[in-house]
């Protein structure tokens, strides 16, 4: 018996207890241990109880084993072996019985759970489908429609709902092993016999084709959810043995797909990105009370995120009216959570009464542990605020700026305590967006950096370390691929082609829909800010300036690249913008050329990858995975590609470099190949090699 599965005979029942922390992943040792346990039990017990030791039942197959040679027993075979055991096999669930974990439970004959348990088949979130019988056994238990809903969303189902659906048989409070053992003994005493789910009738057929089509539409290019529907269809059309074979084929096809590699890359790196080797053993400062400067959209969002995470927050505005308005925004957002049932009215009252205040005097910040400045994006304003914070805040307080672009070193140098200054760049809406760029200035102390990451974790953010440069990681790369889009528009593509091509690629919105949503005035202000220092060789599109000069800033004014009608979702292409574009082409003597969707996607992605490689090469981002997580969680990059640098690896870096070198023949100012990309290609290495610590 392997240590991964502990064996204990208790009366008539053989207990197989998983011991593979932290989540009892079904790696080889666990699978082998279960098989050996079943065989041993069949020689000496009347029933088997499968239960998880530690915090959870099996949370799925061991994802770390994917891509490595499979070792028998395979999970599908093990599940079939458990199901066909002559003994009564019971599973007792706690924590999260997910993926292969639920599939093991479905292969047992009876299932009991503690009230807090959750079950699910989240394989589609890894670009896969349940590959150990989940698509065959779950629909036999709960019907094809409900099974498809659970499998294609990958959502976790609470025990109560699982009982209602018939996924589990009983819920009982108590220690999971105790309730499991009692339940198994009760079934033995009642003379119950094995009850294989696989032996249940096939699920009734549904309209699988339209379910498939709408899954493809919803997937925006993701193939796993739709493929899973074909697997459930097999459960309806064939017997269990054939269904399991078809499921396996589809699983292996998805496992070999780039999408699955992209989503598994995202799974592990959204967890790894906030773990910095240099912060090992560095204790963060104690953070209980926060200050937020500014009650606008960003200030209010940051305040709400902090309040919901249990911090006390003091918001400071320039005067009483502005403070009241800021408080109104905070209350409005929280009331929205109450309406959606995400926050209880009592909790709302407690937060507003005991944990939040909005004032107009900096002196109120004399005792807070950390202040986040979220005021107007202008250096003079920032420096004035930090001078005030330097005057009133206690020694040891952390002074943070939510600036999106400005030089955090310059802000820090304007105080007497630059080592306590850091950038904490949130994304709008700050109480929703997962990304937090932790911008480390030259003088920032290690425990201040550690505190930034601790705050990120407490706010349930994906915190990514960034060095200081114009736009940090995300906005710097955004500026480049947005400029590339503008160049394609100047050369013949329409903004609407760009949006269509990039939504085909998997983005929820194209670059011009995003520009209209964010407000065209932001880009306009940036172009004006950079104009005095701009290199004359840089091609800059001015058609959007003309739209802005007319007071049209996108959605918020009803017109931008698109025209927006009140009460209608989305906009229709704005012919005025096309007129500005054609005028500009004529003025520049440009003959419009045709761009296919593939051309657009390739150039756009090459621009993104090239700038991202420079960001890594300069050490602004420590690892390529940092860039991938920034684009995934802050810029809507399609998760099924894993991020731009994972995508690049899967495309082949030599081809990307060759394309960039070809584009440079048209514009060698914009297309300057990254030195890192050239070195990786020369060494035959990938960005993933750099993630693993290799260098070039
Ligand atoms: N395999 C390997 N490692 C895993 C793992 C897994 N299935 N699940 C978690 N870990 C690691 C994780 O990387 C982290 O490591 C640590 O455990 C704690 O995780 C045939 C093929 C269970 C809800 O998709 O959703 O079964 O960072 O930080 O917040 O059909 O982990 O410490 O080094 O996330 O408490 C299907 C994936 C697999 C579930 C716990 N199962 N896991 O959340 O902790 S595919 C899943 C989760 C499959 C079969 C198919 C969550 C969690 P490290 P954590 P948590």
Name the pLDDT band for 532 (thresholds 50, 70, 90).
confident
Task: pLDDT band for 527, please (50, 70, 90 cuts).
Answer: confident
pLDDT band at 582 (very low <50, low <70, confident <90, very high): very high
DSSP-based three-state secondary structure for 636: coil
Residue with tokens 């058609």: 543
pTM of this structure:
0.96
Q: Residue 63 and residue 26: Cα distance in Å, rounded?
A: 9
Q: What is the residue with the minimal CA distance to atom 54 of ligand 1?
A: 271
584 in Cβ contact with 490 (< 8 Å) = yes
Q: What is the pLDDT of residues 268-313, one digit of tens each?
A: 999 999 999 999 999 999 999 999 999 999 999 999 999 999 999 9
Any ligand 1 atom below 6 A from CB of 368: no
What is the rounded distance in angstroms from the CA atom of residue 367 to the CA atom of residue 305? 20
The verdict on the CB of residue 132 being under 6 Å from ligand 1 is yes
Could you count the other beta carbons within 10 Å of the beta carbon of residue 587?
9
Q: How far is 90 from 393, CA to CA, in rounded Å?
A: 60
**23 CA distance to ligand 1 middle (Å):** 7
Verify whether ligand 1 is closer than 6 Å to residue 52 (CB atom). no
Query: Would you call 65 a catalytic residue per the annotation?
Result: no
Between CA 140 and CA 144 the distance in angstroms is 8
Whole-angstrom distance, CA of residue 661 vs CA of residue 462: 34
Q: How far apart are CA 129 and CA 555, in angstroms?
A: 39
Residue 388 falls in the annotated catalytic set: no
Mean pLDDT of 662-667: 97
Choose, from 6, 39, 65, 103, the residue flagged as catalytic.
103
Ligand 1 closest atom vs CA 103: 30
Tell me the average pLDDT across 488-510. Answer: 96
The rounded mean pLDDT for the chain is 97
SS3 of the chain: helix, strand, coil, percent, to 5: 55, 10, 35
Q: Is the CB of 255 under 6 A from ligand 1?
A: no
Q: Supply the pLDDT for residue 567.
A: 84
pLDDT of residue 530: 81
DSSP 324-349: HHHHHHHHHHHHHHHHTTSS-HHHHH
Rounded to the nearest angstrom, the distance between the alpha carbon of 153 and the centre of ligand 1 is 17
For helices 675-683 and 597-617, what crossing angle results, to 10°?
100
Residue 268, number of CB atoms within 10 A of its CB: 13
Task: Give the residue ranges of DSSP H helices in 66-119.
Answer: 75-83, 100-107
Burial zone of 573 (CB within 10 Å; 0-12 exposed, 13-18 middle, 19+ buried): middle
User: Which residue lies with its CA nearest to atom 38 of ligand 1?
Assistant: 60
For ligand 1, whether the C-beta of 247 sits within 6 Å is no
Task: Please give the structure tokens belonging to residue 60.
Answer: 């799925």
Cβ 22 under 6 angstroms from ligand 1 = yes
Q: How far is the CA of 34 from the centre of ligand 1 (A)?
A: 19
Per-residue pLDDT tens over the stretch 41-68: 999 999 999 999 999 999 999 999 998 9
pLDDT of amino acid 96: 98
Q: What is the pLDDT of residue 525?
A: 86
* CB contact at 8 A, 104 and 58: yes
Decide: 64 in ligand 1 pocket, CB within 6 A: yes
- 251-260 pLDDT, tens digit each: 999 999 999 9
d(CA 406, CA 190): 72
Q: For residue 279, report the distance from its CA to the centre of ligand 1, in Å.
A: 24
- Ligand 1: which of 18, 52, 59, 244 to mutate, judged by most atoms within 8 Å of the beta carbon? 59
CA distance 317 to 331: 16
Q: How far is the CA of 40 from the centre of ligand 1 (A)?
A: 29
- DSSP lists the bridge partners of residue 425 as 437
CA of 59 to the centre of ligand 1 (A): 6
Ligand 1: nearest atom to the Cα of 271: 27
Please choose, from the candidates 458, 392, 387, 386, the residue with its C-alpha nearest in 3D space to the C-alpha of residue 422. Answer: 386
Ligand 1 pocket, residue 198 CB under 6 Å? no
27 lines ligand 1 (CB under 6 A): no
Taking the centre of ligand 1 as the mean of its atom positions, its distance from the CA of residue 254, in whole angstroms, is 19
| Residue of 39, 42, 123, 278 marked catalytic | 123
Query: Does residue 288 have its Cβ closer than 6 Å to ligand 1?
Result: no
How many residues can be counted in the chain?
696
Which residues are within 8 A (CB) of 86 and not within 5 positions of it... i.e. 6 or more apart? Answer: 42, 194
Q: Is the CB of 60 under 6 A from ligand 1?
A: yes
**b/e burial code for range 517-552 (CB count within 10 A of at least 16 → b):** eebbbebbebbeeeeeeeeeeeeebbbbbbbbeeeb
Question: pLDDT digit string (tens) for 613-661?
Answer: 999 999 999 999 999 999 999 999 999 999 999 999 999 999 999 999 9
List pLDDT tens digits, range 426-479.
Answer: 999 999 999 999 999 999 999 999 999 999 999 999 999 999 999 999 999 999
pLDDT value of position 225: 98
In angstroms, the CA 58 to CA 27 distance is 10
**Over 90: is that where the pLDDT of 1 sits?**
no
pLDDT score for 2: 65
- Tokens standing for 615? 């960001």
97 CA → ligand 1 middle, Å = 11
Residue 389 has pLDDT above 90, yes or no: yes
Using DSSP, state whether 414 is helix, strand or coil: coil
Model pLDDT for residues 197-245, shown as the tens digit of each residue: 999 999 999 999 999 999 999 998 999 999 999 999 999 999 999 999 9
Which tens digits make up the pLDDT trace of 442-455? 999 999 999 999 99
Percentage with pLDDT > 90 across the chain: 96
The predicted model gives 147-167 an average pLDDT of 98
């Amino acid at each position: 018996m392997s240590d991964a599965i502990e064996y204990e005979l208790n009366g008539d029942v053989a207990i197989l207890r998983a011991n593979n922390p932290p989540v009892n992943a079904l790696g080889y040792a666990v699978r082998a241990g279960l098989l050996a346990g079943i065989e041993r039990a069949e020689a000496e017990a009347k029933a088997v109880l499968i239960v998880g030791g530690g915090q959870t039942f099996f949370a799925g197959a061991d994802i770390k084993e994917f891509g490595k040679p499979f070792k028998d027993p395979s999970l599908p075979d093990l599940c079939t072996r458990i199901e066909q055991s002559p003994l009564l096999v019971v599973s007792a669930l706690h924590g999260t019985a997910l993926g292969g974990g639920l599939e093991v439970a479905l292969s047992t004959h009876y299932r009991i759970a503690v009230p807090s348990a959750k079950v699910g088949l989240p394989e589609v979130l890894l670009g896969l489908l349940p590959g150990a019988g989940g698509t065959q056994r779950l629909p036999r238990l709960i019907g094809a429609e409900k099974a498809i809903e659970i499998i294609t969303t990958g959502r976790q189902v609470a025990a109560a709902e699982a009982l209602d659906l018939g996924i589990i048989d009983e819920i009982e409070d108590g220690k999971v092993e105790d309730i499991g053992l009692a339940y198994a003994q009760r079934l033995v005493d009642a003379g119950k016999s094995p009850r294989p789910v696989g032996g249940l009738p096939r699920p009734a057929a549904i309209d699988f084709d339209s379910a498939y089509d709408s899954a493809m539409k919803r997937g925006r290019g993701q193939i796993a959810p739709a493929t899973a529907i074909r697997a459930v269809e097999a459960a309806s059309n064939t017997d269990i043995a054939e269904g399991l074979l078809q499921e396996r084929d589809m699983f292996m096809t998805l496992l070999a797909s780039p999408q699955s590699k992209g989503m598994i890359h995202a799974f592990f790196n959204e967890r790894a990105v906030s773990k910095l080797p240099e912060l090992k053993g560095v204790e963060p400062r104690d953070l209980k009370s926060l200050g937020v400067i500014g009650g606008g959209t960003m200030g209010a969002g940051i305040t709400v995120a902090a309040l919901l995470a249990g911090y006390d927050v003091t918001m400071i505005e320039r005067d009483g009216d502005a403070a009241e308005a800021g408080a109104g925004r905070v209350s409005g957002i929280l009331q929205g959570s109450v309406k959606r049932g995400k926050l209880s009215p009592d909790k709302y009252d407690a937060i507003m009464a005991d944990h939040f205040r909005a004032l107009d005097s900096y002196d109120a910040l004399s005792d807070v542990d950390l202040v986040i400045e979220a005021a107007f994006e202008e250096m003079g304003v920032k420096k004035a605020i930090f001078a005030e914070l330097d005057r009133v805040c206690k020694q040891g307080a952390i002074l943070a700026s939510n600036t999106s672009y400005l030089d955090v070193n310059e802000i820090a140098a304007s105080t007497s305590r630059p080592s306590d200054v850091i950038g904490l760049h949130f994304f709008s809406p700050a109480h929703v967006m997962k990304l937090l760029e932790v911008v480390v200035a030259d003088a920032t102390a290690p425990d201040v950096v550690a505190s930034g990451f601790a705050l990120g974790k407490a706010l349930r953010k994906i915190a990514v370390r960034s060095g200081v440069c114009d736009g940090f990681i995300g906005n710097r790369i955004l500026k480049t691929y947005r400029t590339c889009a503008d160049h394609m528009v100047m050369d013949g593509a329409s903004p609407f082609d760009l949006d269509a091509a990039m939504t085909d690629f998997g983005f929820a919105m194209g670059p011009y829909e995003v520009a209209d949503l964010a407000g065209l005035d932001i880009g306009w202000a940036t172009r004006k800010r950079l104009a005095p220092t701009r290199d004359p060789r840089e091609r800059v599109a001015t058609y959007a300036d003309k739209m802005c000069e007319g007071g049209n800033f996108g959605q918020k004014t009803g017109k931008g690249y698109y025209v927006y009608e009140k009460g209608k979702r989305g906009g229709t292409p704005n012919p005025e913008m096309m007129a500005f574009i054609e005028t500009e082409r004529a003025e520049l003597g440009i003959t419009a050329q045709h761009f296919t969707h593939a051309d657009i996607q390739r150039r756009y992605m090459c621009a993104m990858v090239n700038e991202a490689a420079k960001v890594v090469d300069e050490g602004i981002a420590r690892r390529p995975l940092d860039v991938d997580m920034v684009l995934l969680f802050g810029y809507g990059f399609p998760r099924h590609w894993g991020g731009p640098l994972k995508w690049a690896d899967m495309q082949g870096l030599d081809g990307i470099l060759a394309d960039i070198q070809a584009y440079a023949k048209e514009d060698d100012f914009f297309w300057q190949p990254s030195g890192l990309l050239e070195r990786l290609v020369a060494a035959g290495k990938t960005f993933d090699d750099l993630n693993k610590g290799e260098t070039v």
